[in-house]
Amino acid sequence: MITSPDQPELSGREESQPTKTSSIVNDWKKYLFEFLLIFTAVFLGFLADNIRENYGEQQQAIGLARSFYEELKNDSLTIASKIEGRHQKEKSIRYMVNFFRDSSLASTSKDLSYHFIWAVTARSPITFTPRTIALEQLKSSGALRYFKNDRLRNLAGDLSVVIDFIAVRQQYEASIFENYMEPIMTNHMDYDFQYQLWGNTDNMYDRLSQYQKSDEYIPFKLSQTEKINRQVMMNSLSYYHTNGLLSTRLIAFQQYVIVNAALLKELRAEYGLK
């Protein structure tokens, strides 16, 4: 090859420079592409795990909410029944207070037997024991965090507080019953009447209600009337009525009714439950 003096011949190193630069660029493009592939795969995997975890938590929240809802719904019916029982017991205590105020202790009547039984013996128709399986599971497992609704979490906390309050109140009532009602029952109950009334029954208070509404009559009289102090009887019954039964119904039970209704409403709105 003939070259002019003004065009010096290119050395081998100078001819290979563009080829080497091009190779480096291609390598970087390859590395960048591989990095993007790896990054995308990791990101999509992370995203998939996050979606899967969120979906799992959502499904678990729905399952827990359904159990919690059924528990609350059942208890809303139960407490309504217990409130009704308390109304009856309070009414019977007022009847007995009036009886001891001015009636003959030797008198006997169907109403006297009915109200005496309700006033001084009835416990199960007025005692409320909330179901707490779902609530305790939510608290102990930390699953309350699955409820994204802040009001729902706050209401669940309120429910725990009011359930504890009911337990304290009913324990207080039990102590009053033991100290004031049981002596009346053991000293002045007509147990012949009780045996005849409840001799062959599975449900005592259904039987008592049926008896009250029927034409059946079983003789009843107060026992050991000579030992009855009218004022002590009236005071004991009134204390149990107002400081025990009425206070629990108007404060603790009513608080539970309010929180229960709010939770049911919130769960229906959040999870479409019926």
pLDDT in tens, 199-238: 888 888 899 999 999 999 999 999 999 999 999 999 999 9
Nearest to 242 by CA among 185, 194, 173: 173
Distance CA 156, CA 266 (A): 11
Distance CA 65, CA 49 (A): 24
Checking if the pLDDT of 186 tops 90, the result is yes
Per DSSP, 251 falls in state I
Contact yes or no for 111/220 (Cβ under 8 A): no
Give tens-digit pLDDT for 79-122. Answer: 999 999 999 999 999 999 999 999 999 988 999 999 999 999 99
Q: Whole-model pTM?
A: 0.78
Contact yes or no for 248/173 (Cβ under 8 A): yes
Q: Which residues are within 8 A (CB) of 196 and not within 5 positions of it... i.e. 6 or more apart?
A: 218
Give me the pLDDT at residue 1, please.
Answer: 47
Give me the pLDDT at residue 17, please.
Answer: 58
